[in-house]
Amino acid sequence: MVSSYGVNKIVYKGDFFTWAATDRPIPPDFEVEEAELVVRLQSTARGRAARWAAGKEVVGLNDAPYNPMLRARVQRFRWWPPGAQPDWLEALIDSGDLYPNQVVQLGAEVPNWTAHVVTAIPDPFREFITRNIGKIREGLCFPDLQGHLRVGRVVMDEQLPWFGGRRRIFNHYLVGRKARWEYRVVDGEAIGLAVGPGWILSPDHPNEPIELLTSDRAVYVFSHPIPSPTRGGTVD
C-alpha cells in the first residue's frame, strides 16, 4: 500500500508509530511515501533483543555510540510489530545488502521497520547545545550529584529552544507536571537542559533527590555518561 498523506511526521509510540498531525496509528506493513522521522535505533546495548543496520550514505544519525537518534526525512517507510518482522527483512540485515541510504531496525521487543533516508532534518535543540557548550560546562563546575548524573544551573543569554516530553533519562526520572528535560550526545556524553518546577529522582539513589526550581532566566544543565555494553548498560 502507498500513503496518500504526502509529507508528514511519523511519531514513535513505543510499540507502534502514529501520524503526528492526527495521532492516528500507521497500520503495519503500510508504505509511507515520504515523511519526517525522529526515532532512536535500538540494540542489545540497552538490554533489548534488538539490532539495526544503516547504509554507508545514511545521514541524520547523531554520534551516540550504540543507540543513535535518527532525524531525517525518509521515503518508503514500513513497520511491523515487535517479533513480527518479515523473513526478507531479517535476511536483508543478516546479509548486509542494504541500499546505501537504507536503515533497518529489527527486534523481538521493539517495532521492526525500514526506511530510505532522503536528507537530515534540522535539530534546533542540538544546535543550541553545541552553540552554548562552553557555558553549559561552566554551569557543571559545582554540580549537584545523583549517581553519575551531574546537575548545575546557568543563565542563558538567548531564548531556549522548545524541548520536553521525556520523563526518564537512563535511570533518573523527572517528576513534576510542568518540569521538562532533554539531552543530546556531545563528545560521547549526554548533555542537556532541564526546567522546573519538579524533582529528579532515582531508585538507585533514593537519598539524593534533586529539586528543580522555577526561574525566569536560569536553566538547569546536566550531564551523564553514556552506558557501555561492556557494563551491561548499567551506568546509573
pLDDT for 130-171, tens place per residue?
999 999 999 999 999 999 999 999 999 888 888 877 888 989
CA gyration radius for the chain? 19
**Residue 111 banded pLDDT, cuts 50, 70, 90:** very high
**pLDDT(203) > 70:** yes
Question: Quick one: 60 and 115 in the same domain?
Answer: yes
Q: What is the pLDDT of residues 75-109, one digit of tens each?
A: 999 999 998 989 999 999 889 899 999 999 998 98
Q: How far apart are the first and last CA of the chain?
A: 44
**pLDDT(231) > 90:** no
Distances in Å between the Cα of 175 and the Cα atoms of 54, 104, 194, 220 are 36, 34, 12, 15
Question: Quick one: 113 and 166 in the same domain?
Answer: no
CB 70 within 8 A of CB 37: yes
Q: What percent of the chain has pLDDT over 70?
A: 92
Q: Which of 120, 138, 171 is the last residue of a domain?
A: 120
Question: Quick one: 40 and 87 in the same domain?
Answer: yes
Question: Quick one: 105 and 163 in the same domain?
Answer: no
Mean pLDDT calculated for residue range 110-124 = 94
Sheet strands (E) in the chain: 9-12, 17-19, 32-40, 50-54, 69-80, 102-107, 112-120, 144-146, 149-155, 168-169, 172-175, 180-186, 189-195, 198-201, 210-212, 218-225
Tell me the whole-structure pTM to 2 decimals: 0.69
Contacts within 8 Å (CB) and 24+ apart, 135-142? 136/191, 136/193, 136/221, 139/221, 140/221, 140/222, 140/223
Question: Quick one: 24 and 114 in the same domain?
Answer: yes
Task: Determine the pLDDT at residue 4.
Answer: 41
**2 within a domain of the structure (yes/no):** no
**152 within a domain of the structure (yes/no):** yes
Instruction: Count the domains in the chain.
Output: 2
Task: Determine the pLDDT at residue 46.
Answer: 63
Question: Quick one: 154 and 99 in the same domain?
Answer: no
Q: Which residue has the cell 508509530?
A: 17
Mean pLDDT calculated for residue range 51-77 = 90
Question: Quick one: 99 and 43 in the same domain?
Answer: yes
Question: Quick one: 99 and 169 in the same domain?
Answer: no
Question: Quick one: 128 and 100 in the same domain?
Answer: no
The parent domain of residue 168 ranges over 124-231
